[in-house]
Amino acid sequence: MAFYSKYKSILTIIFALSVAIVVLFLVRQNIDQRPIVKEPVQYIMHYHKNDMEELKRKASELKSCQSKLVERELELSHNIQRVKELEQNLREALTNRAEYILKQPLIFAITPTYKRWTQKADLTQLCQTLSHISNLRWIVVEDSEQKTPLVTNLLSHCPVNSTHLNFRTSQSLLNIVNTTDKKPQVKKPRGIEQRNTALKWLRRQYRHGEVKGVVYFADDDNTYDLRVFDEMRPTKMVSVWPVGLAGGLKFEGPICVGDSVKQWYAYWARDRKFQIDFAGFAVNIDIILNTKALILTTSKPGYIENDFLEQLIEFYDLEPKANSCQSVLVWHTRTEKPQMFYEEQLNKMGHPSNPGIEV
């Protein structure tokens, strides 16, 4: 007890401090459980938990969104490709085809025509033939004082691009017919001044080098295989080929070896440099535009084509076509003059045909 009394104060302090330490320990132990200390952490944790779950959900959504986006981008690029292809197809089917056609040399088909019973039938037939040919201008020259309604109407209904001209054959060229039945007709043929009318029109319309094209004399009673137009289109100077049923022969025209004309197969006027029918040659338009060449009204019968070509080229300028002159792609046909036995008789009998019906 002497020890206690002596160190009473110190022991008391030690005791108090011990109590304080125990209390402190207890208090400290209690911190994590004490609501006031735990609350903010849990709150943070809770707050973050909701937030994070939301964010985690969004992150996984992002993943699926991104993979969908890749899918869609792929699909889109396929579709854009498909649209491009389809548009290309359409463009090729429409514009490019037209462009391709417009790049081809233009064919100027010159057709003299005159009033007769079979005129409308013949022009109808020729319209059907020419409407198969792309990039062609049909120059129809009527032998008449005025353009006739029949031809005007026919051309307006024909899908071929056309130019309608007219020139009445001069009186001096009419009735110069030297024929006897069953003999070759060696009269001054029709169409000379009409063809010249077309040549003059071409020279008024174009200057040399202004248009890529070829000039062909296409009579309205001839028959044309469509391939003859493909053959003539690339003509550089003057291209030639045989003509069926011409010159009193099975065919008339050049005899060729490869790319050269060697001689002619003809009977009539064998001294001609160019023994060929109008249906058997085509001329590059620049050769026409370079000269003032015309069909001559002074030519001897049968020399008309020859005398025209002599103004344009030399013999060696000729370009054989139609399988080196081995194929007949054009026929010098004529439509028979119909026999109108009964037309007049019916008129006399008082049963005239309806004049409103155009034939």
234 annotated binding-site participant:
no
φ/ψ of 113, rounded to 5, equals: -145, 155
The span of 52-60, 106-114, 163-171, 306-314 binding a second copy (CB under 8 A) equals: 52-60
Instruction: Between 173 and 346, name the residue whose CB sits nearer to a second copy.
Output: 346
333 annotated binding-site participant:
yes
190 binds a second copy (CB under 8 A): no
Among 112, 191, 213, 247, binds a second copy (CB under 8 A): 247
317 annotated binding-site participant:
no
Residues assigned a catalytic role: 305
Instruction: Between 10 and 259, name the residue whose CB sits nearer to a second copy.
Output: 10
112 annotated binding-site participant:
yes
Q: How far apart are the C-alpha atoms of 214 and 229, rounded to whole Å?
A: 10
User: For the chain, first and last CA: distance in Å?
Assistant: 161
176 binds a second copy (CB under 8 A): no
**How many residues in the shown chain lie near a second copy by CB under 8 A?**
99
316 annotated binding-site participant:
no
Point out which residues pair with 141 in neighbouring strands: 112, 165
Tokens of 47: 């707050």
315-334 positions binding a second copy, by CB under 8 A: 326-328, 331-334
356 binds a second copy (CB under 8 A): yes
The span of 55-63, 99-107, 143-151, 230-238 binding a second copy (CB under 8 A) equals: 55-63
Cβ pair 262, 281 in contact under 8 A: no
* DSSP secondary structure letters along 91-152: HIIIIIHHHHHHHSPEEEEEEEE---TTHHHHHHHHHHHHTTSSSEEEEEEESSSS--HHHH
Cβ pair 61, 69 in contact under 8 A: no
Q: How far apart are the C-alpha atoms of 295 and 303, rounded to whole Å?
A: 10
Among 102, 248, 290, 311, binds a second copy (CB under 8 A): 248
Total residue length of the chain? 359
31-50 positions binding a second copy, by CB under 8 A: 31, 37, 40-41, 44-45, 48
SS3 label, residue 63: helix
- For tokens 């009318």, the residue is 197
1-20 positions binding a second copy, by CB under 8 A: 8-9, 12-13, 15-17, 19-20
The span of 169-177, 189-197, 284-292, 345-353 binding a second copy (CB under 8 A) equals: 345-353
Instruction: Between 62 and 101, name the residue whose CB sits nearer to a second copy.
Output: 62
51 binds a second copy (CB under 8 A): yes
Helix H segments across 209-293? 227-232, 285-290
CA-CA distances (angstroms) from residue 287 to 28, 141, 308, 353? 118, 21, 12, 50
3-state secondary structure 33-59: HCHHHHHHHHHHHHHHHHHHHHHHHHH
In the complex, the smallest distance separating the C-beta of residue 237 from a second copy, rounded to whole angstroms, is 24
Among 39, 75, 92, 314, binds a second copy (CB under 8 A): 75
268-287 positions binding a second copy, by CB under 8 A: 268
81-140 positions binding a second copy, by CB under 8 A: 82-83, 86-87, 89-90, 93, 117-118, 120-122, 124-125, 128-129, 131-132
Q: How far apart are the C-alpha atoms of 30 and 74, rounded to whole Å?
A: 62
Tell me the longest C-alpha to C-alpha distance in the chain: 184
Instruction: Between 311 and 353, name the residue whose CB sits nearer to a second copy.
Output: 353
113 annotated binding-site participant:
yes
Instruction: Between 174 and 226, name the residue whose CB sits nearer to a second copy.
Output: 226
Please enumerate, by residue number, every residue annotated as part of a binding site: 112-114, 143, 190, 195, 219-221, 332-334
